[in-house]
Every structure is written in C-alpha cells, then in structure tokens.
Amino acid sequence: MQKQDNKSTLTGLVLIGIIFVAYSIFFPYTPEETPNKEEPNVLQGTTKIEVKTIPKNTSEDNLPKENSTKDIIDSTKIVTEEFYTLENDKIKLVFTNKGGEIKSAIIKGFYTYDEYKKNPEERKDIEIFNNQDSKFEISADRNVSTNEFFSVQKTDKSIIFKKDYEKGVFIEYIYTLNGEEENFVDLTINTEGISNPELIWTIAAPETEKSKTNQELGTGFYYQEEHSKDVDYTWDNDEFEINEFETDLSWISFTQQFFSTIIEAKNNNFNSDTKLKSSKNENDEYVKKLSLKTTLKSGENNYSIYFGENDYKKLKGYDKSFEEIIPLGWGIFGWVNRVAVIPIFDFLKNSAGLTNFGLIILILTLIIKLSLSPLTYKSYLSQAKMKVLKPEIDKINEKHKEKDPMKAQKETMGLYRKAGVNPMGGCLPMLVQFPILIAMFRFFPASMELRQKSFLWADDLSSYDSIMSLPWDIPFYGDHVSLFTLMMTVSTLIYTHMNSQMTSNQMPGMKWMMYLMPIMFLGFFNSYASSLSYYYFLANVFTFSQMYFMRRFVDDDKLLAQLEENKKKPKKKSKFQKKLEEMQKKQEQQMKKRKKK
C-alpha cells in the first residue's frame, strides 16, 4: 500500500515537472517595456489601459459592459476614451481616439440665437455639429470596424489616428490644421490592405437659428461636377436620396443656413456612385441629418475640409466656386445679386463705414428706386395716357357690348395707335423691376451680414420680427405677429388701390385678385426674414413718393390735348401693331366659322 502511494507521488511530481517545463517553453516571461520618452510627436499617457483578470470559465454575458468612457479591446484590457484639440483663431476641432473622428466642430466668433441673447461674456461659440448623432466611419468587405480605439500621435498643428488590424492592414487618419487664420483642415485617409473601403460621413445639423423652419429650408447638399465645374444642389424639405451622378464630383458641401462643412477631393474625385441622403424627423432635436457615402481607393486619399460661415466674399476668394452654396437665385436673379446688390451692400457696409443695417437697407432701397425712376416715370406716363382715354374706350365697349367683342378690341387698339399710346408701355418697366424684386427675395434671407443684426424691434434681421406671441398656431400664418410684415402688407394694399385708379380697363375678377395677393403674402412673409419685409415696405413708400411728385408734374388736360393732336397726324403701323392686327383678323375668322357651325 505504501509502495503504491510512493509510485503515485512520484508520478505526480513528474507530471508537475513536465507542466512547468512546457509552460516555460510556450509562455515565456517578458518584462514590461517602459515608454520611450524621447520618441517625437507621441503623446504619453493619452491612452489609459486597465488590466483585469477574467475567470477562466466566465461566460461572454458576464464580461464588463461598454459604457460612455470604457470599451473592451479583448478579454483582458479596457481602454479609456480620450479627446484631443486642434484650433486656431477661426475654428476649434475636438477629436476622439474612439474611431479617430471629429467629435465637435466649433466656429469662433459666432453664436446660436439662444447664446446671442446672453451677455457677451457668457456666450459660447457655435458648434455646427458634434458626434453625438453624427458619424465618421469606414466600412469594408472584410470584418473591419472603425468604431474602435486608435493609437494617437499629435503635434500643435496635426494629429494622427491609426488602427492596425493585422500586419500590413491598417486605417490611418491624418488631420492637419491649415494656418492660424484659416477655416481649413487637410485630411489624409490611408486604407492600406483594406478591400473596397467606403467613407460614410453623417452630420446631424443642430438647431442654431431663431427660425427652425427657415433653417430647414437652407439645409441640404451642394456639389460641384468635376468636368463641367457646374455647381448643383440636392434640396428637399423632407427626405431625399441620390444614388448616382452623371460625372465625378470635385467637392461636396454639407450646407446649413449660415454655416457649411465642405469636403474637397484632392488627389481623387468623389466617384459618380457617391450617395447623398437627407432625413428629417419632426420630433428630432436636429434640423436635418445629411449623410455622404463614397468609395475610397486602397492607399492614400487626400481631402481638404472647410468649416465656416457662408460668407459670399470669403468663399469667392478661395476661387473654387464655394460661393455658389449661397442661394442667391438662378439665372438673372443671381446675376442681379452678384453684380449689383452685393457690391452696393458691401460698399455701404465697408467703404461708407455704416454699422446700422436698417440704415444700410434704407440707402440701398433709395439707390435702387432712383436708378429705376426713369422707367417708373415711363410706366406712370403710359398709365396716365390710358386713363385720359378711358371715356372714349368706355364708349367703344358700350357700343359693341355683347355684340362683337373682337371689334371692340380692334377699335380700342386703333384708338391707341392714333393717339400714340403704347398699351404695353407700362409693362416693360415692371418686367425690369421684377428680377430685382426676386433677387431681393433671395438675398436678404441668405445674407450672413444680417444674421443676428438688430434694428428697431427686430432682434435678428435674417429672421422674423415678433411684436406679439399668439397663444396658438394659426394655419398659414404662425404663432406670432410680425410688424414689418403688417406694414409691408398695408403699404402694398395702398399701392394696389392707387395703381387701380390709373388703370383704364380692368376686369372685376382681376381687380379683386390684386387685392387678395397681399393678404396671401401676409401669411408667407410673417415667418420670413424681417429685412425683406422691411425692404418691400420701404420700396412701397418710395413708390408713393414718386407717384405723388409725378402727379404734380403731369397735367391730365394737357396730356389729353397732346393725344388729340396726335390723332390728327397720320401714323405708320409698327411691325408689332401689324402682327397684332393679323392675329385679331385670324381670331375673327375663327369665331365666324364657329358661328356658322
């Protein structure tokens, strides 16, 4: 019995010895390496590692769970999230080592509407997005995730995030600040050994302005086509998704009403399969979520990113057509803004040294109205001629009433020709003024200079002015009363009444329509830019003044006498009159044929 115990003991010792030898061979002891303090550009202590021993039979469900500051790298290490900053005089960017993405983009010297109302010393610079609901990541065919912790290297002007997956396979982000007074950051994305990598960048645009509705209208994508250099946009107030383009793209802008994030491709364009998506949730704290998805090439991808305000002069100075993201209007409307309105506005603001923007708008309105005064006078004179001829026109209409309307029209045109009156004379000046009215409609709500600038009771000329809050939301009107809009509406109704007095023959239905339109505009402009309503009000007031003086200088009796003298002189028919008469003859023939049938 004792011999058996000795044999068992000896056998156990031999087995223990074998285990120790095997353990020393397969699991050699390695002393802990001390950090190299002389290694340049490497942040010491930025990544905190906490070692935990996990019991051998612990199930996966019992492992420590992820929280806001810690994440599991493997079964033995937990890494703490760290934040890093790159900033200059214009911008401040906060990065995180989890995913190596931009956590926050701050534009210095600008504020949200709520911050602007605070005392200057208490204001915080505006944050145009953060990564709470925004996301910057890379997806690939293989099992690669960027939602992990990256190693970090940093200098004063640049920061490098790198994630190694296996030997020769890694993702690396290199962010480099571009100058002390620049709004640009250069970004290099290295995707070495990654197959079919795709960049997905989603920006959740926060509510920063007084009017969320107006901000929604101004939030979307702009992009430039590589070959044509044309700048286009994808816009919808709700949701949209574009899956492919006709050409590659040079740059793409996540545009908000007054701020933008523009990413420009440097060494390779955004391919035509790039996807742009916009989504909106009425109950969401964000205005919209804008998402970009594009294919990267394996290796180095270089970009330049602009974080800043939508200032026309500033963006135009980069000579990359960035200024096209400001919605100044298409065609002639945008041309009027770029060639006339903006230069005059900038001159009054900079060269003239004016700081009161209400006064600047007043002088701008005066300059425009004086420039158009010759056309205004011509229009008034044409209407005055038709007014003094109204008794004769009424006789013609009464003579052919319900008998031959075409003949009445023919005799009326003959009267105009003999008297030397062009019935279209009052329309041409209106056609010239129309592009200016539309140009102003686009200029004021998009003007960065007017953002958070106050005048009288309006605390923000780029948004609505409110003198009274209503206890409920009135459909098509809103939950507040805008005084500038009321003043504009009343002045427009007065102008409509004065203009109707000058019109010789106007259909009753059309007359009521002219009065109804200002009432309809009341609901639309009530929540629009107060600077626009203020401009339209001033334009009406100046028009009243012009009409007052014109009436003083135009004598109806003398004008009628002049027209009677014109009747005695033979008049040659113009090409327009000949074509008009030919059209009238054709209409008469068609009506006769219909009567015969």
pLDDT, tens digit, for every residue of 413-428?
A: 777 777 777 766 667 6
How distant is the alpha carbon of residue 534 from its chain centre? 22
pLDDT band at residue 397 using 50, 70 and 90 as cut-offs: confident
- Reply yes or no on whether the pLDDT at 357 is more than 50: yes
Q: Is the pLDDT of residue 503 over 80?
A: no
Averaged over 554-560, what is the pLDDT?
74
pLDDT of residue 354: 81
Instruction: Output 16 or 120, whichever has higher pLDDT.
Output: 120
Average pLDDT over residues 129-141: 85
Q: What token pair was written down for 401?
A: 């009433």
Query: Confidence band (pLDDT; 50, 70, 90) for 213?
Result: confident
Residue for token pair 């929280």: 67
CA distance 69 to 62: 19
pLDDT at 219 over 70: yes
The predicted pLDDT at position 456 comes to: 93
Complete domains list, the chain, with CATH: 79-326 (2.70.98.90), 335-578 (no CATH)
Judged against a pLDDT cut of 80, whether residue 141 lies above it is answered with no
For CA atoms 538, 544, 550, 552, give the dihedral sign.
Answer: negative
> Residue 81: pLDDT above 80?
yes
- 528 vs 408: which has the higher pLDDT: 528
Q: How confident is the model at residue 376 (pLDDT cuts 50, 70, 90)?
A: confident
Looking at residues 404-416, what average pLDDT do you find?
71
| pLDDT at 150 (0 to 100) | 93
Least confident stretch, 168-177, 206-215, 253-262, 416-425: 416-425
Band (pLDDT 50/70/90 cuts) for residue 45 is very low
First to last CA, the chain: 136
Query: Which residues fall within 8 angstroms of residue 412, CB to CB, at 6 or more apart?
Result: 393, 396, 397
Q: 3-class secondary structure for 454-485?
A: CECCECCCCCCCCCEEEEEEECCCEEEECHHH
The residue among 495 and 40 whose pLDDT is bigger is 495
- Residue 559 pLDDT class (50, 70, 90 cuts): confident
The answer to whether 99 and 152 have CB atoms below 8 angstroms apart is: no
Residues pairing with 391 in the sheet: none
Which band of pLDDT confidence, cut at 50, 70 and 90, is reported for residue 284? confident
Q: Is the pLDDT of residue 13 over 70?
A: no
pLDDT over 50 at 46, yes or no: no
